[in-house]
Structure 1
Amino acid sequence: MRKLIVVLIITLCISFGDNLETTAAEEKTVYIMEVTTSPKKAAHYIKRHHPRMEVIETFDILLQAVAVKGTKEELEKLQQEPFIQATHQNQQYKALYEAVPNKEVFQNAYNPAQFNETKYTGKGIKIGIIDTGIDLEHEALKDNFQGGSDVVEYNDEPAETEEGFGQTIHGTHVAGIVGANGEIKGVAPESDIYAYRALGPNGFGTSVQVIAAMEKALEDGVDILNLSLGNTINVPDFPTSKAVNKATEHGVMVVVANGNDGPNDWTIGAPATAPTAISVGAYKHPMTEVSLWNERTKEKTAIFPMTGLEFWQKETTHYISETLNYTDLLLINETNKTELEDMETSNKMPRGIIIEAQLYEESFFANYDIPIAIVENADKLRQKERMFLHVKTETAKEDVAPFSSRGPVAMNWQMKPDLLAPGVQILSTIPGGYEMLNGTSMAAPHIAGALAILKEAQPTWTNEQIIGALKTTARKLADKRPIEQGAGLVQIDEAIHTSIIIHNPLLSFGKIHRFMDERIIELEIENIGDEAETFRFHMPKKEKGVTWHLPMNFTVGPNEKKTIPIQLKMNRTQIRDGIYEGYITLQNNNDTFELPYMYMLNETQQKKIDGFQIKEQPSTSEEDTYEFEFYATETLEKVDIFLFDTENYILEEKIANFDQLQIGKREGTFQLQNGEIILTNRFVFVFVIQLQDGEVVYETVDI
C-alpha cells in the first residue's frame, strides 16, 4: 500500500443559493437528468407525479434534460420513470485564474490590444461570456455591454458578486480582454458583449448554472461563447462538454480555458475536453525578470518589485539581513515585521524591503516611501546573518506558462490545447479599475476576441474556415511539445490573410491496441486563393517500429479543397510505452506548416479511473446506501474498490468490484459493514485495477 498515490479528488456536489437549502429530514441534492421526451413535458410530469421534487431548470437547446432537486428517496423513485435516460450529478465549476504578485508595477504587463495588430475591431460581433458577471458601470465596458442574464440569482443584471459577499472580479477581467474600449482596450474593442453570470460568490458555480447560461446565450443569438471556467475531470462526455458540442452544432464558436493544473500531462479538465471546444493554453510573453544572485552558491532568487522599480532594476550589490542593524535590504519575517512601526523614528531605515509573498499586505506599507519587493521563497536568502547578493535583470524568453494544463484527453486521446494565447500578467478591467491576472482564463478571451476579428474581416468564411485559419497560421513555440501548445500561438493578421486553410491540423492518432496497428487521418487542405498551390511533405524522423506513408507531392487548385490521407503504421513490439509526439512539416512555395501529431502506447501517467464521486451520503437510516459513479478511461479487465484507513493503515472493507469494464461512465452502490465508520478525510478509496495485459495498478481517491 506504500505505493499508493493520490490521483483523484472527490468533488462533492456544491450548489448555490436555493440549492444549499436542506429539509429537516435529509439534505436535498441536484441532478441533471437526460430525458427521452420533451423536457417541458417531463418537467410537467415530475411536478404532478413527484410533487416533492423541485424542477430547477429545463434544457431543450443544448441538452434534452431537466435539472431536479430532491432527497435520495425521491430521486430514486424518479429514476424509475421510463423517460429518464441518464443521470448526472450537478458538478462544481470555478473561475480559472490567479492573482499576480506585483500588481502595482506594470512593466511586464501584457495589454490585450497588443494581440490584435489589424485595423479590425470586431464591430457588431456578439460575444457571450459565461462567468462571474461584469461591472455594469465600468467606463471601459458599459458602452459595449449589450445584455445577458444572471442564472445564479435569476435576474437580467449579471453583476459581479459585491464585496463582503464572496466578491468576484473574474468576469469583468475576461470581458475587458475581449472588448474593453476605454483606458484599456480589448482584442475586439467594438464587439458586442453579452454577460451571463453562472459563477456566484468566490467564483464557484455548477453544471446546471453553466448550461442554463449557455442556453440563454444561444437564445440571444451570440456568435462566440467564452467559458473561462472548468474542473479537474479529464473526460470528454460530461454534460457541460456535451453542451459545448451541441452549441457548436448550432453555429456558435465555443472557446474554453484549458485549465490551470499544469505542468503535468493529463491535467486538462471539462469542458475544455469537449471535442469541438477551442481549448486554449496560456502563453507567457517575454518579460524582464529581477533576481538576486549569490556568487558563492551560483544560485539566483527571483524577486517581484512592488514599488521602486528603478531601484530594483539597477544592477548593483546589496547586503540583506533580517535585523534592523543593517540599513541596506531588510528581509521581513513573521517576527520582525512588527519592528517596522519604529522605522521612521530610528536611524536604521533600510534602503529597500523584501517580504515573502504570503506576508505581504498592500496596506501594511502604505505609509512608507521605500522600494518594496516580494519573494516567493526566502529560504535562499537566509543562509547567513548578512549576505551579499547581486541584482540581475534579464529578459526571460517566451514560454508556455507552467500552470497551463496539458493534454491529452482521456478516453478519446485527443490532443489539447488547440491553441495558445497570452495568459500571464494580463492587464484588464476589474470592478472599479484595472489589474493584472494570470490564468488560462485570461488566454481564452484573447481567442474569443480573435474569432470576432476574423469574423468581421472575412464575413463570408464559415466557422470551420475561421477556426482552421487560426490553427493553420499559429506559430509553433520552439522546444515545446504538441500537448503543451497544440497548433501554437495565434497570429491574427496572418490568419486573416492566409490563402491556405488546413482543417483539423492537430493529428491525434490515438492509443495503440493491436500488435500491428494502422491509423489513417484524412487531412483536409483548402486553397482559398486564386492560384494553384503545390505541396510536399518532409518525412518525420525515422523511429523503430513506426512507418509513415505520406504523399510526396500534390497540388490543390484555386478554390479547391483536397483530402490527403496521413497513414501511420506501428509495430507494438518495437515501441516502448508512453506518449509519442512531434511535428510533420508540410511546405508549399511560400509557407511552411508544422502539423503536430501524437499517438501513445500504454501511457502509465494517465489515470485509469477519473471523476469518482459519492453521489449520495447516507441519512440516519441504517438501510441507506452510498451511491457513486466514476469513469473508466480505457478498457479494464477488473476493478476492485476498497476503503482504506490512512491513520491506522487498515484495509477496512471491500465496497465494490467490476469485471470487463468498457470505456465510459460506471455507477454503483455500497453499504459499510462496519456501521461505526464515518467517512472523513482519514479514509481513502483504493482502486485495484487489472489492465488488459494482466498488469495490476493502484489508484486512490481522497475523501
Structure 2
Amino acid sequence: GINYYHADFGGLRDPEFTADTGLDRSDGNFPTAKVVAGYDLVGDAYNPGSDVPGADIPVPDNDPLDCKDPDAPNVHHGTHVAGTAAGQGVLDNGDTFTGPYDEDTLADHTFRIGPGTAPEASLMAFRVFGCDGATFVVVDAIERATRAGADVINMSLGSPFGNPGSVDSLAVDGASKAGVTVVMSAGNSGPSAYITGSPGVATRGISVAAMDAVRSFPAATVEIAGGDDIDGIIANDDTDDLPVTGDLNVFADNPATPCDGDTGAGCEESGVLHDSYVFNAYVAGQIPVTFRGNGARVDRASQGDAEGAPAVIMVNNAPGFPPFEGPIEGADIPFVGVSSTAAAALAAADGDSATITDAGVTANPNFKHTASFTSGGPRRFDNMIKPDVAAPGVSVISAHGGTVDGPRILSGTSMASPAAAGVAALVLEANPGWTPKNVKSALMGTASPNRLVPYEIRLAGAGLVNPRRAVGATGLAWAGQTTASLAFGAEQLGKDPNGSNSFRETLSFNITNKSSSSVTYQLSNQFQTASLGANVSISPNTVTIGGNSSRSIDVTLRMSEADAEALPDTAPLHGPDLGFDSLGQLHSPLTHVAGAVVANVIGGSGNDIRVPYLLAPRGLSRVNDRTKTAYTETANRFKSSVRVKNTGVHFGIADVYQWGLADGNDGLDGIDIRAVGVQTFPTEVCNVPEDRDDRCLVIAVNTWNKWGNASENEFDVLIDTNDDDEPDYAVIGVDAGLVLGGLDGIYVSLIVDLPALSVVDAFFATAPNDGATMLLPLLASDLGLSRTGDSDFEY
C-alpha cells in the first residue's frame, strides 16, 4: 500500500490520517493527483501462516492505504518503495517539492527526502501485504495492475530459489506479453548460487540486485580497557551523548528456546526483546553487545534504550559494517555497528569496561560493492543470468509511511528494484510505444559494470543501471524473444566416453538500431571471470546496421577436453564445498565462466551495448564398477574386490558405502532419491579430534536428477537406535539459514533428538551445486552409540 497522505506524494499531510479506516473511498481522499488508482487485496490483518484464526483470509477493499501503525512489522514497505520509484521529494521544512526537476534541483534545494527516480510519474497501489507476514495474492495484483493500464509494475517481494515456472513468474511473463514492463527485487538471501528469488527469475521480467552507494558513515571507536580498539559506525547517527562508558555484556543465545528469525523471539543473542536482557542478566548501565541475524536490526537500539543502556553494539553477520539506519524511533542512544571480525575480541572482553567515542567520519569499505545480502544467481534449471541489473539498495532514504512528511532509511533489494523501475518509466517517457523487451534491453545493454567494485555477473547481471544512457539508448540487443543475455547452461564436460569430450555451443542475439542513421559496431569479448580455458568467438565481429534495422550476431563458446580435465574439483572428498566472497562471506559458490559481448560504436552515432553470458562447466568423472569377485571368508570376515574404471575426463574418487535404501526414478527434480548408504570413518573426518571410542558416520544420499543448489530440498533420515521401530533421531540435510532465520544456500547436516525436539549437533554437508550426491556427516556419539556400548542402528 501507499500512505497517500504523505508529502512525498503531494498528500494532505493530515496528522490524523491514522483515523482513516482505509476501507473505502467515501472520504474523498483517494485517489489523489499522484496516486491515481489502486486496490487493497488483503486488509491490515492479513498474515498467512500466522496462528491467529482468520489471519490467512484476505479482506479486500478499494482503498490501498498503507498500514497506519507507525511500528508495523512491515515497516511501511510499500510507501518507502513508492517514494524511491516516483516520490516528488520533501523539502527540509516538510513541504512537497513540486519541481522543476533538472540539473539544478539538488544544488538549489535542501531536502528531507530527495525526489524518486521518476518524480513526475503517476502511481498505482495494489496492496498484497497486511501489517505483517507473507502473501499469496501476488498474481491477483499483477492482473489488476495490467488491466488498470500500468506501464511499469514494481514488485519488491519474492521467495528464494526462484522457479521460472512458478505461477507468479508466469504471471510476470504474461504481463510483459501484454505490454507491461515488470521490475522485481532479486532477493536478500546472500551470494550463494541459484538462490535468487521468484518472481524475479521470470524470463521476461527485470530482476534487480542491490549495491552499496553510501560513501561514508559517522564513525565510532569502542575502546576496551586493556584491549585493542574496535572500529565501528554509529548506525543511527546519534552522537549527542558520546563518549559513553559501561561494562560490556556480550549476549548469548538460550539453546532451550526455539528461535523465530522474523521476530527475534527465542533468539536471545539478538537483543531485540526484553527476554534477551532477562536471560543475559542485564543490568542498566551496561553496554549490550548484540548479534545481527534475527529480528529487526533497529529493534536492538530501541530495546536497549528501554532497558537503560547507554549504547548498543551490534555485531554484523558478515565482514564489514552493517547498514546505516539513520534516526531510529524510540532510540536516543548510540547504535554502534561493528564487523563480524570483531566478535572474538568482544567475546573476550565480556564484563570489561569499554568507552565508545565519536570518531568523526569513516569511509565505507563496501562502497560500490554489491550488497552483502543480495541474492546470487544464476537462475535454476537453465542458468539464465539473474539478477539482470543492479541499483542502489543499501541505506536508502525514502518516505516513512507511519508519518506524513518523515523519512525512513531501509536496505534491501526491495529498495533497489523501485530505483530501476523508475528508470524504466523514464525510458518509456523518452520512447513512447516501446515494448517491455525494448525497455529491458535498454537497461541491460547500457548498464555500467565498472561502477561496481568488484563486479560479478552472477550477482549483478549486466551491471549498475545507468539512467542517462538507458534513456538515450538507440542501440538495443536481444536474444530470442525473452531476454538480453546469453545462457550457455550448466554443462557436464566429458560425458561422451566414445566421442569428443569438448564443448562447443553457438547462441545468437540481435542488435537493433532504433535511430534513422546507419551505425557500425566492433564486437569483442570481455571475460569477467577467469576463462578456465574457454574460447569465445563472435561472428561477424564488425557489423553495419542501417536505420531502424536489425542484424543477428553469433557467439560461440568452446572448451577443449584438456580444459575440462583442468576444471576445479566439484567438491572435496569429505568436507563442505563452500567458499568466501570478496566481503569474506561464507557461501555456496559456483564454478563458472562469465563475460560480455561488447559492441562498441566505431561509425555513426549510437550507444555501446553489452550482452552478458554465463556457462557453468563441470569436468565429469565417470567412475563405474567393472567386475566383482566372489566373497571369501577368513576368520568370519568376508572379503570381495571390485574393479572400477573412470571413463570420464576429470579426476574422480570411488568410495564404498553400505547400501541401505533404493528407489525408482519418478521423474522428479533433485529430490528424487535413487540410493542411500552409510559408511564409518575415524572421527577426524568429521573435523573433530580423534576419539577411538567414537566414529564419524557419513550418510550418502544420491538422487536420480541433479539439483541446482542442494538447499532447494530437505532430506530427512530417520534413525532407530533401540530397535523399537520408532525413530529416535533424525539426520536432516537442510539449508543452514532455514534453521537460523533465513535461507542462505549453505547446506548442513543437522542431528535432532526427536523425543526431546532438540538439536544435538550440526556439521557442514558435502553437497555441491549442480550435483546429485550429498554426504551428511554425524558422530556415532550424537546418536548415543559407542564402540564399547550400543553400536547398531536402523534407518
Shorter-chain TM-score above 0.5: yes
The residue number in structure 2 matching 1:188 is 118
Summarize deviations over 1:185-239 as a string: whole Å, max 9, x none.
Answer: 3222232322222223413112xx1112222222222222221111123332122
The residue number in structure 1 matching 2:153 is 225
Give the deviation of 1:650 after TM superposition.
12
- 2:478 paired with 1:549: no
Say which of 281, 284, 292 aligns to 2:221.
292
The residue number in structure 2 matching 1:508 is 487
**1:333-482 pair list within 5 angstroms:** 338-339=284-285, 353-357=310-314, 366=332, 373=336, 375=338, 379=343, 380=345, 383=349, 385=353, 391=359, 393-396=361-364, 397-433=367-403, 434-476=407-449, 477-482=452-457
**Structure 1 portions without partners, runs of 5+:** 1-94, 96-110, 114-120, 122-132, 313-317, 325-332, 342-351, 605-628
Summarize deviations over 1:509-546 as a string: whole Å, max 9, x none.
Answer: 21224522222221211122233222223355695642
- 2:472 paired with 1:582: no
Structure with bigger RCO (C-alpha 8 Å, 6+ apart): 1
The residue number in structure 2 matching 1:528 is 514
Give the deviation of 1:446 after TM superposition.
1.3
Q: What amino acid is the match of 1:510?
A: G
Equivalent position SS for 1:202: coil
- 2:39 paired with 1:148: yes
The CA distance in 1 between the partners of 2:414 and 2:180, in whole Å, is 19
Moved more, 445-454 or 570-579: 570-579
The CA distance in 2 between the partners of 1:306 and 1:692, in whole Å, is 39
The CA distance in 1 between the partners of 2:411 and 2:182, in whole Å, is 21
Give the deviation of 1:418 after TM superposition.
0.4
Q: What amino acid is the match of 2:507?
A: I
Equivalent position SS for 2:234: strand
Q: What amino acid is the match of 2:510?
A: E
Equivalent position SS for 1:512: strand
Moved more, 356-365 or 220-229: 356-365
Equivalent position SS for 2:592: strand
Q: Tell me: CA distance 1:220–1:525, structure 2 relative to 1, closer, same or farther (3 Å).
A: same
Summarize deviations over 1:281-328 as a string: whole Å, max 9, x none.
Answer: 01210321225388999875222253545897xxxxx7965289xxxx
Give the deviation of 1:684 after TM superposition.
5.5
- Whether the aligned pair in 2 keeps the contact of 1:639 and 1:658 (CA below 8 Å) is yes
Summarize deviations over 1:339-379 as a string: whole Å, max 9, x none.
Answer: 489xxxxxxxxxx954224999967765xxx7664557675
- Whether the aligned pair in 1 keeps the contact of 2:702 and 2:772 (CA below 8 Å) is no
The CA distance in 1 between the partners of 2:699 and 2:775, in whole Å, is 16
TM-score by length of 1: 0.61
- Whether the aligned pair in 2 keeps the contact of 1:293 and 1:392 (CA below 8 Å) is no
The residue number in structure 2 matching 1:494 is 469
Q: Percent identity?
A: 23
Equivalent position SS for 1:143: coil
Q: Tell me: CA distance 1:305–1:506, structure 2 relative to 1, closer, same or farther (3 Å).
A: same
Q: What amino acid is the match of 1:260?
A: N
The CA distance in 2 between the partners of 1:238 and 1:546, in whole Å, is 33
The CA distance in 2 between the partners of 1:265 and 1:203, in whole Å, is 26
- 2:359 paired with 1:322: no
The CA distance in 2 between the partners of 1:268 and 1:446, in whole Å, is 19
The CA distance in 2 between the partners of 1:226 and 1:519, in whole Å, is 35
- Whether the aligned pair in 1 keeps the contact of 2:446 and 2:608 (CA below 8 Å) is no
The CA distance in 1 between the partners of 2:232 and 2:504, in whole Å, is 49
- 2:169 paired with 1:262: no
Equivalent position SS for 2:135: strand
The CA distance in 1 between the partners of 2:330 and 2:143, in whole Å, is 46
Q: Tell me: CA distance 1:558–1:286, structure 2 relative to 1, closer, same or farther (3 Å).
A: same
The CA distance in 2 between the partners of 1:400 and 1:691, in whole Å, is 24
The CA distance in 2 between the partners of 1:134 and 1:422, in whole Å, is 34
- Whether the aligned pair in 2 keeps the contact of 1:140 and 1:180 (CA below 8 Å) is no
**Root-mean-square deviation over aligned CA pairs:** 5.2
Give the deviation of 1:483 after TM superposition.
1.0
The CA distance in 2 between the partners of 1:653 and 1:481, in whole Å, is 35
The CA distance in 2 between the partners of 1:286 and 1:667, in whole Å, is 36
**Structure 2 portions without partners, runs of 5+:** 2-6, 11-21, 43-57, 91-112, 250-276, 288-308, 317-324, 494-500, 569-590, 621-665, 679-693, 735-748, 751-764, 778-795
- Whether the aligned pair in 2 keeps the contact of 1:474 and 1:489 (CA below 8 Å) is yes
Moved more, 466-475 or 214-223: 214-223
Say which of 585, 588, 596 aligns to 2:612.
596
- Whether the aligned pair in 2 keeps the contact of 1:294 and 1:390 (CA below 8 Å) is no
The CA distance in 2 between the partners of 1:264 and 1:463, in whole Å, is 29
Bigger share in strand:
1
Equivalent position SS for 1:511: strand
**1:97-246 pair list within 5 angstroms:** 142-145=32-35, 146-151=37-42, 152-163=58-69, 169-183=76-90, 184=113, 185-206=115-136, 209-246=137-174
The residue number in structure 1 matching 2:290 is none
The CA distance in 1 between the partners of 2:766 and 2:611, in whole Å, is 36
The CA distance in 2 between the partners of 1:393 and 1:139, in whole Å, is 44
The residue number in structure 1 matching 2:210 is 282
Summarize deviations over 1:394-429 as a string: whole Å, max 9, x none.
Answer: 333322111111101111111111011111111112
Equivalent position SS for 1:697: strand
- Whether the aligned pair in 1 keeps the contact of 2:519 and 2:545 (CA below 8 Å) is yes
The CA distance in 1 between the partners of 2:245 and 2:476, in whole Å, is 57
The CA distance in 2 between the partners of 1:165 and 1:494, in whole Å, is 39
Q: What amino acid is the match of 2:134?
A: F
- 2:774 paired with 1:697: yes
The CA distance in 2 between the partners of 1:679 and 1:220, in whole Å, is 56
Equivalent position SS for 1:483: helix
The residue number in structure 1 matching 2:302 is none
Moved more, 531-540 or 590-599: 590-599
The residue number in structure 2 matching 1:560 is 549
- Whether the aligned pair in 2 keeps the contact of 1:197 and 1:213 (CA below 8 Å) is yes
Equivalent position SS for 1:240: helix
- Whether the aligned pair in 2 keeps the contact of 1:144 and 1:179 (CA below 8 Å) is no
The CA distance in 1 between the partners of 2:771 and 2:198, in whole Å, is 30
TM-score by length of 2: 0.55
Moved more, 591-600 or 137-146: 137-146
- Whether the aligned pair in 2 keeps the contact of 1:516 and 1:572 (CA below 8 Å) is yes
Summarize deviations over 1:656-702 as a string: whole Å, max 9, x none.
Answer: 997568999x99999999998589988568899999999843479xx
Moved more, 223-232 or 551-560: 551-560
Q: What amino acid is the match of 1:216?
A: R
Say which of 570, 577, 580 aligns to 2:559.
570
- Whether the aligned pair in 2 keeps the contact of 1:400 and 1:484 (CA below 8 Å) is yes
The CA distance in 2 between the partners of 1:569 and 1:211, in whole Å, is 41
Equivalent position SS for 1:204: coil
Summarize deviations over 1:567-598 as a string: whole Å, max 9, x none.
Answer: 11222442315211233433223765444321
- Whether the aligned pair in 2 keeps the contact of 1:470 and 1:495 (CA below 8 Å) is yes
Give the deviation of 1:441 after TM superposition.
0.6
Q: Tell me: CA distance 1:217–1:595, structure 2 relative to 1, closer, same or farther (3 Å).
A: closer
